[in-house]
Amino acid sequence: MTEALVRTRHRWPRGRILLAVTTLIAAACSSTNAPRGAGAPPGGSILPLTATPLPDFYPARFQLLLTQLRGKPVVINIWASWCGPCIVEAPGLARVAHDYQGRVQFLGVDVLDQRSPAQAFIRKYDWTYPSVFVPNGAIRDDLGFLGQPVTIVFDSTGKRTFAVSGAVDESQLRKELKALV
């Protein structure tokens, strides 16, 4: 009987330890160690509300955002502030985004960059649409591209209808969007 009591006494501390470890793991998983911008804002949309915050994104979160954007055409532009062709196409992207505002959702994906120069780039070229920050290029790679810039157009159902690697031609982008709107 004493042996049974000893076993029972040892089980309680183990159980409490297991509970404590489980609680710590759960707390760690829900802490602020998640990538910046990982939590959905009230209302559930994870689309940044303005152009310059540049929240951290990763492929799974980006795919969720694309799903949320279904219902209107989407233009994804993968860019970096130090990229020569990105600088060339930036003014044209700003003009097209302005002209299609409300009818097409533009979204920038800043890769292999630093947040401060990227925010300055957005302000310099007067981009009014949001961009997300991907320090390692994972979203670009996940979409099957190498290098930047890359511009991809999705129709309102989420089907890819156009993609170009390199600086996008403003007139070509307008032609693609005219067919969708």
pLDDT mean over 160-171: 98
Q: Per the structure block, which two tokens stand in for 31?
A: 């802490």
pTM check: above 0.85: no
pLDDT, position 70: 96
Burial of 133 (0-12, 13-18, 19+ CB in 10 A): buried
The percent of residues above 90 in pLDDT, for the chain, comes to 71
pLDDT, position 28: 32
CATH-assigned architecture of domain 59-180 = 3-Layer(aba) Sandwich (3.40)
The arrangement of strands across the sheet holding 160-165 comes to 131-134, 105-111, 74-79, 150-154, 160-165
**In terms of Cα–Cα distance, which of 154, 164, 143 is closest to 60?**
143
**pLDDT tens-digit map of 12-59:** 444 443 333 333 333 333 233 333 333 444 457 898 888 888 999 999
Q: Is-contact 58 137, C-beta < 8 A? A: no
